[in-house]
A = this chain, B = another copy of it.
């Protein structure tokens, strides 16, 4: 099942037989105090720089989030989306829990975005899905609902199934629903990753839809987070995860591209070898400057 996303000029396909879709996580003020202060003060200069840096580092898409307390999120998100669309030609994941912000974001977006996100809560489904359907967008569906975050993979599957079904009622086909199987921090629960991996396998086998998760959650509070992300993503991809909102730090991106090659999604290592040659050529150019 292929999920097609589009910027003004570029198409990205998320699919089980495609290279893993890397969605850069960085344009998000959550946990970035200095960036949040800049945005609050009307200084949006970091947004374009972060967009370019992540595209350069290998992102296929970019997540854009404007969630700052007591700020007009609809207005800020629209401004940020315009800047990112000017800076790079990657499709965008429009990220907000505020319906008005999603509405404003969808209004300024050129192409087919991924809306991040809806949950299995009835109220959220009825608010957000009509909007997604009207704009012909795709949507991330989080496998939690009114009862919270389910502990078992089976319960998460049930919620995923409900989201896909209700999306269908709103004219959104299964290929435009990307399920988030939920990755919790392993520092708080030693079973967290095992549960996530089982959920991914179950959703792949039972629903066959694409999946996306916030990969950095896993390592929250632990040291050497890039090394943990670089180990988590190959496991998740082998289980059936097809995209992630993630760090674009080199070890993490390398782990994902190595996984593409190992799983047969980079035939004969063509992309891997080309990236290696480009990197070596760059290093030699720098060395002889």
- Which residues of A come within 8 Å of B, CB atoms? 186-187, 190-191, 193-194, 197, 218, 222-224, 227-228, 230-232, 234-235, 237-239, 251, 254-255, 258-259, 261-264, 267-269, 272-273, 276
Q: Establish whether residues A224 and B255, one from each chain, have CB atoms under 8 Å apart when the complex forms.
A: no
Q: Establish whether residues A262 and B276, one from each chain, have CB atoms under 8 Å apart when the complex forms.
A: no
Q: Establish whether residues B264 and A222, one from each chain, have CB atoms under 8 Å apart when the complex forms.
A: no
Chain A facing B: main interface SS: helix
Out of B238, B251, B258, which one reaches A238, CB within 8 Å? B238
Out of B187, B262, B267, B276, which one reaches A235, CB within 8 Å? B262
Instruction: Name the distance in Å between A224's Cβ and chain B's nearest Cβ.
Output: 6
Give the complex CA separation of A238 and B187 in angstroms.
18
Out of B186, B237, B255, B268, which one reaches A262, CB within 8 Å? B186
Instruction: Name the distance in Å between A268's Cβ and chain B's nearest Cβ.
Output: 7
Out of B223, B231, B273, which one reaches A259, CB within 8 Å? B231
22 contacts between A and B (CB under 8 A): A186-B262, A186-B269, A190-B264, A190-B268, A193-B263, A193-B264, A194-B263, A194-B264, A222-B272, A222-B273, A223-B276, A224-B272, A227-B254, A230-B230, A231-B255, A231-B259, A232-B258, A232-B262, A234-B235, A235-B235, A235-B238, A238-B239
Instruction: Name the distance in Å between A278's Cβ and chain B's nearest Cβ.
Output: 11
Instruction: Name the distance in Å between A137's Cβ and chain B's nearest Cβ.
Output: 32
Q: Establish whether residues A224 and B276, one from each chain, have CB atoms under 8 Å apart when the complex forms.
A: yes
Q: Establish whether residues B193 and A228, one from each chain, have CB atoms under 8 Å apart when the complex forms.
A: no
Instruction: Name the distance in Å between A175's Cβ and chain B's nearest Cβ.
Output: 23
Instruction: Name the distance in Å between A234's Cβ and chain B's nearest Cβ.
Output: 4
Give the complex CA separation of A113 and B227 in angstroms.
32
